[in-house]
């Protein structure tokens, strides 16, 4: 696959993520939507960079991706019922740091078993 095709696929994927991001918010209004969109974009960019940099094979990266997705689902279920006006900082903190911390712990647990071979 050429670089141009890869970039086009990346752009389509990024565009789809940007369109779907507002669907993940549980509140309406700019005060809830903007911080959550920023958190989603920062987490997504961080995950892509993290997956490129780490020294795991494909199976280990897939497990980490699954851990990341499950953590996001769990975080949304934990804070989905809280009113944003009262618990905005808590909601933003859980949604930002929860997946980052648990994915990092998952990497530390998986790095020996799924280390990429250098042969």
| Predicted confidence (pLDDT) per residue in 17-63, tens digit | 666 665 555 555 556 666 777 777 888 888 888 888 888 888 888 89
CA distances (Å), origin 34, targets 13, 55, 59: 21, 34, 34
Strand partners, 115: 56
Q: Confidence class of residue 70 from pLDDT cuts 50, 70 and 90?
A: very high
Kindly list the domain boundaries of the chain, sorted by start residue: 3-110
Three-state SS for 57?
coil
Tell me what the mean pLDDT of segment 2-24 comes to.
69
Structure tokens of 44? 């997504």
Tell me what the mean pLDDT of segment 60-84 comes to.
88
The DSSP secondary-structure symbol of 56 reads: B
pTM above the 0.75 mark?
Answer: no
**pLDDT for the residue numbered 105:** 92
């Amino acid at each position: 696959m050429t670089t141009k095709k890869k970039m086009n696929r990346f752009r389509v994927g990024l565009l789809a993520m940007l369109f779907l991001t507002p669907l993940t918010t549980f509140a309406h209004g700019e005060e809830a939507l903007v911080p959550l969109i920023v958190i989603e974009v920062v987490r997504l960019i961080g995950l892509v960079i993290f997956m490129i940099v780490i020294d795991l094979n494909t199976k280990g990266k897939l497990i980490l991706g699954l851990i990341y997705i499950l953590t996001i689902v769990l975080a949304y279920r934990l804070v989905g019922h809280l009113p944003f006006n009262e618990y905005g900082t808590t909601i933003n903190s859980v949604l930002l740091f929860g997946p980052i911390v648990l994915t990092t712990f998952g990497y530390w647990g998986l790095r020996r078993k799924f280390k990429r071979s250098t042969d």
